[in-house]
Structure 1
Amino acid sequence: MNLVFVNSFEKRVEEDRVITAQVTIGERQGVWSVLWNEPDKDGKNGQDCWFEGDKWQDMMTAFRLRLAEKTAEGFLPLVEGHLEGIEAPSAKTRYSQMLHYFSECNSNEELYQQLRLWRREQAIKEGKPFYVIATNRVLRMISCYVPQSNEELKNIPGFGDHKCTLYGNNITDITKKHPQMGTFPLEWVIRQIDPYQFKLWVHKQKEIKVKAELERQNMKKRMLELITQGESLEKIQQSLNLPRREVILWTEELETEGYDLDTFIDSELQQVPTVDQELAWKAFETEGDRYLKPVLKKIYNEEEIKSKDLDLTYEWLRLLRMRYRKEKASESKVS
């Protein structure tokens, strides 16, 4: 067997005792295998086959998922970085991770809820998604470190000059009513963190990310199956229990990845008047296809736009844009 990858892992079970395990990836005559070696409670080495097959992508999926599960159990790699050649985080990234980790364990819950309420009201006022105003992670860090001026607020990762200009005063009006647990800058946080527990937390975040991505990939596969079966966008949305906008975005991703969605797109566009499609096509040629709002204004006047269901209108414009981009890409290859 050709050994392609190997890494050792340790799990702390007692103050002075660790369990050592090893993962290997090998290839023999085009067949990939992923093996996990771990001693049992009697110290006898046991082997678990995580994957055996000829598909690299399926092998990597199994590798990522099972490795995430093992790190969640407490097994930490002796050598950081996995098969894809992921580089170790920079000092800045690691510092941000430490501030995030510490805030999850030490935030002021009352202040956190007050900040969430402010964000909700601000997002509704501006007509923006909540996360555009501030993510939960940022609010959690603010509720932990309690900055009481814009200068202190800039020490929070993800809250720079622009966000401070927009929302700094609103936030500090709330935080000033609460005591701080430490001073700014926040380098003192590093000394308060247990390195082992922090490392476990980092790997737990990786596990969450891997599982979310795998779930997303499975949903996309299911969506592709439904498209192949001739289901409509509405039926797909109901089957996957996703917002229609999400289904459209995934359709764009599948088109970009090279899947043939022409029949599905043609079927959905049958509901759109031909004259509207022709006007939109001409607008793509004159206005470009990056932004849809200028295209919309070329098709309809202000009064017509007010009478439209804009979600549905942007929906069919995205579908038509997929067809337009595919045709232009084909023309470029010919020329």
Structure 2
Amino acid sequence: MKVLFLHSLEKKVGEDRTRQAQASIGENKGQWVAGWQETKEDGRLSHETWFEGAAWDEMIVSFRENLLAKQLGGFLPIFDMGWLAEGGSFDTKTAKLQLLQYYSENNPNEVMYEELRQWRLKQASAEGKSPFLVATNRLLRMISTFLPQSEEELLQLPGFGSNKVALYGAELLRYTQNVERSTSFPLGWVQDQIDPVQFYAWQQQEKERKRQAEQSKREVKLKLLEAITGGDSLEQLREQLQLQRRDLMIWLEELDREGYDLESYIEKGLQQVPSEELSLAWTAFELKGDRYLKPILQTLYNQDELEGKDIDHVYEWLRLLRMKFRRHQMNKEAAAAV
């Protein structure tokens, strides 16, 4: 076998003792071979084959993952192996975002974070939207850790653009402006405070978390489609999938956006709504747009009328009607373009 890369690592096992190891990449008759060799406590050599095959990309992924596991176990390279780090640089936009996210997760300010979460709940309720559309957990974490004290500093946080500053900047700064902080803006110093090996391990964990989340989403969608095809009611869907009303409607909206035919199901869900209210809501969508539901709700009912209503149920059928309205608008635009 032709050895193309060989590097030594060592692990401290006592005050004056170390264990030696080598990571290697070689080529043998068109096949890539990646492996590991280390000296055990009893002095014998142990060999591991991490990868053997023709695909360079797969070999590199396997090499990185296995090498990371060894480094987390205490083996450190004698020379810098930074060229093996995924992406090779912290300079990309994604890497900078991940650096700030990683730092804020590992240096939390739980008191401030909880205060911001409570603010988000109230704001989302006032706007009639999901809390995560106001601000994600990741953004609240970064705000609570870095404590921006001006709009200019808020704008330096990924995910906080000029629109959010205009909407929420003043409110958020009420929480952070007068709090003493030990760090400063700009945030270029963050990179120097992070262990690259631990950061890479966190990146891999994030990848796996996202993969599992995507798999979970696919499973929920499949169950939803099966239940819808079977004619289950919204109440039955909630019970089967253990979802809150709002969350269930968000799933249905996503299926609708992806092009699944939910028309008959939407019509069935709207059957119990008085035709006059449906007509008024439809007109409100035409006049006010379909982005937010709270203006539509306020058009339909005054405050006294709302007190006698099941607000969650009203929002539920408004979401169904909004799906129907959006599909109608799409068909209308498509017809006009012909």
In structure 1, the partner of 2:111 is: 114
Structure 2 unaligned spans of 5+? 1-5, 12-20, 27-31, 37-45, 70-81
| Correspondence for 1:167 | 172
Label 1:11 to 1:101 Cα distance change in 2 as closer, same or farther (>3 A): farther
The 1:113/1:286 distance shift into structure 2, 3 A limit, reads closer
SS in 1 for 2:313: helix
1:259 partner letter = Y
- 1:141-290 matches, within 5 Å, as 141=142, 144=145, 149-150=149-150, 154=154, 157=158, 162=166, 164-173=169-178, 175-176=179-180, 180=182, 182=183, 184-290=185-291
**Structure 1: unaligned runs, 5 residues or longer:** 1-9, 22-35, 49-62, 82-87
Distance (Å, rounded) in 2 between the aligned partners of 1:78 and 1:267:
56
Alpha-carbon offset, residue 223 of structure 1: 0.8
Q: Is the 8 A contact 1:11 1:74 kept in 2?
A: no
What CA distance in whole angstroms lies between the structure 2 residues aligned with 1:152 and 1:281?
41
CA distance in 1, matches of 2:215, 2:332: 35
Structure 1 residue 143: deviation in Å? 5.7
Matches within 5 A, 1:1-335: 16-18=21-23, 42-43=47-48, 71=65, 74=68, 91-105=92-106, 107=107, 112-123=109-120, 126=123, 127=125, 135-138=136-139, 140-141=141-142, 144=145, 149-150=149-150, 154=154, 157=158, 162=166, 164-173=169-178, 175-176=179-180, 180=182, 182=183, 184-334=185-335
Same amino acid, percent of matched pairs: 38
Compare 120-129 and 163-172 and name the one that shifted more.
Answer: 120-129
Tell me how far 1:234 sits from its aligned partner. 0.9
SS at match of 1:18: strand
Larger Rg over CA atoms: 2
SS at match of 1:231: coil
| CA gap 1:266/1:72 in 2 versus in 1, 3 angstroms | farther
CA contact (8 A) 1:292 1:317 kept: yes
**C-alpha displacement at 1:219, in angstroms?**
0.8
Are residues 212 and 45 of structure 1, via their aligned partners in 2, closer, same or farther at CA, if it must alter by over 3 Å? closer
SS class of match (1:225)? helix
- Give how far 1:228 is off: 0.8
Distance 1:332 1:232, change over 3 A: same
1:11–1:189 CA distance, 2 compared to 1 (3 A): farther
Contact 1:248 1:315 in 2 (8 A): yes
Q: Which AA in structure 2 matches 1:280?
A: A
